[in-house]
Amino acid sequence: MITGHDEKEIALKAINLGAYDYYQKPIEIDELKTIVRRALYIQQLELENEFLSRQLQSEKQFEEIIGDSPEMHAVFDVMRRVSSTDVPVLIYGESGTGKELVARAIHFQSSRKDQPFVPINCGAIPENLLESELFGHEKGSFTGAYVQKKGKFELANQGTAFLDEIGELSPALQVKLLRFLQEKEIERVGGKEPVKVDVRILAATNKNLEKEIETENFRSDLYYRLSVISIALPPLRERGDDILLLANRFLYKYAKEYDKQKLTFDALATRKMQDYEWHGNVRELENRIRRAVIMSNNRLITCEDLGLKDDIPTKQASLSQAIDDAQRRYVKIALQQAKGNISRASRELGISRVKVYELVEKYKIVVDRYK
Ligand SMILES: Nc1ncnc2c1ncn2[C@@H]1O[C@H](COP(=O)(O)OP(=O)(O)OP(=O)(O)O)[C@@H](O)[C@H]1O
Ligand SMILES: [Mg+2]
């Protein structure tokens, strides 16, 4: 707050209203710079503090999975329920949404946590090798099988097997997997005796398996076995403030790693991250921030550093467009902060509830009613 008055009362009022400092004219640029620098420093500390305490809170539940949005709380809820059981869980989600992270977390919260967690990527292993990968083989069972080899299911005995990209499994292997799930025993390729194994199965896919069933690419009996419980991981763009929560966590992590500790996002970058589609989801966000930290030689990370186009305030946009854009954003943010409570948002925005409803309608804003 800069003013020509020198009354203490005004100073106090300004500070009560949230001003960091009170500065009297005439302006000394150097002095002002110092004040602004300190204010920024304090703000940074506050943000870091808030972020760390949030992180602590979420880490108490599921280590490493960052998220405070209602969508992610719903996921944590299901995870908590299934962790203590042995039921198969099918995890859905676009690429990079954290399917493997969730599978690991379920395993490490379960009673099997001291036993192996064995991930198997069904899409990455050539079809002719996958059977022996999963079930093992006996010595001499095929050309190249010089020694007996244990399969992944045997290695996962007592623990958890995570079948990633389950939608890629061939029809023949789908049958074998189904048999394994029913009998709880495996037969090594070229083996004569079935071997009992006790494995919990978690599976993941980014395909719509119900569609795959319709087109007869996936067996429905296997699907029902696997999806006793399913978890749908929301795409990052639908996680509201989690985008910034994650962004700050990654910034913190990489700034430390690359020894550039005073970095923050500039306002436009912050906004752009919230509006961006993130088709590569959390993985894309993490990679872009990592790159930005390496590339940035400034204290502020910009859209350019992140490789995001800073095309928001274009000069060509008409004033009414700009107003619409700002209105939509403000209403959206107010509603998020008010956790979907229209009255609270209307007070925050200084407009009537009717007007809020009107704007929600006009901009087709999705109102999340938080718990
Ligand atoms: N909620 C989250 N909090 C922190 N890190 C996350 C979160 N979700 C994902 N990640 C990170 O993003 C990356 C991608 O996650 P993961 O490999 O689990 O995704 P995926 O859904 O299995 O992706 P794909 O379909 O491409 O295999 C990992 O580095 C993971 O640690
Ligand atoms: Mg994965």
Give the position of tokens 């948002």. 345
Least confident of 45-49, 98-102, 229-233: 45-49
Mean pLDDT computed over every residue of the chain:
87
pLDDT value of position 56:
62
**Ligand 2 center from residue 367 Cα (angstroms):** 31
Separation of alpha carbons 218 and 243, rounded Å = 34
pLDDT value of position 265:
93
Q: How many CA atoms lie within 13 A of 340 on its CB side?
A: 9
CATH of domain 237-306: 1.10.8.60
Ligand lying nearest the CA atom of residue 99: 1
Q: Which of 65, 66, 100, 208 to mutate to test the pocket of ligand 1 (most atoms within 8 A of CB)?
A: 100
Query: What are the tokens at 257?
Result: 């790693």
For atom 18 of ligand 1, the residue with the nearest CA is 98
Q: By CB neighbour count within 10 A (0-12 exposed, 13-18 middle, 19+ buried), where does 334 fall? A: buried
Which pLDDT tens digit goes with each residue over 61-88? 576 899 988 899 899 989 988 988 999 9
Pocket of ligand 1 (CB under 6 A): 64-67, 93, 95-101, 206, 246, 282-283, 286
Fold annotation for 70-234: Rossmann fold (3.40.50)
**pLDDT band (50, 70, 90) for residue 368:** low
> Which residues make Cβ contacts (< 8 Å) with residue 155, sequence separation at least 6?
116, 118
pLDDT for residue 316 is more than 60: no
DSSP 148-190: -EE-HHHHTTTSEEEEETGGG--HHHHHHHHHHHHH-EE--BT
pLDDT value of position 310:
64
Which pLDDT tens digit goes with each residue over 136-160? 988 887 777 788 888 999 999 999 9
**Ligand 2 center from residue 306 Cα (angstroms):** 23
pLDDT value of position 162:
97
Share of the chain above pLDDT 70, in %: 94
**Ligand 2 center from residue 46 Cα (angstroms):** 34
For atom 16 of ligand 1, the residue with the nearest CA is 98
**Ligand 2 center from residue 100 Cα (angstroms):** 5
Which pLDDT tens digit goes with each residue over 149-196? 889 999 999 999 999 999 999 999 999 999 999 999 988 888 888 989
**Ligand 2 center from residue 256 Cα (angstroms):** 26
**Ligand 2 center from residue 281 Cα (angstroms):** 12
pLDDT value of position 251:
95
For atom 8 of ligand 1, the residue with the nearest CA is 98
pLDDT value of position 224:
94
Ligand lying nearest the CA atom of residue 98: 1
- Looking from the CA of residue 285, the nearest atom of ligand 1 is 12
Which pLDDT tens digit goes with each residue over 265-278? 998 999 999 989 99
- Looking from the CA of residue 66, the nearest atom of ligand 1 is 3
- Average pLDDT (338-354) is 89
- Average pLDDT (287-293) is 95
- Average pLDDT (319-339) is 81
- Looking from the CA of residue 99, the nearest atom of ligand 1 is 21
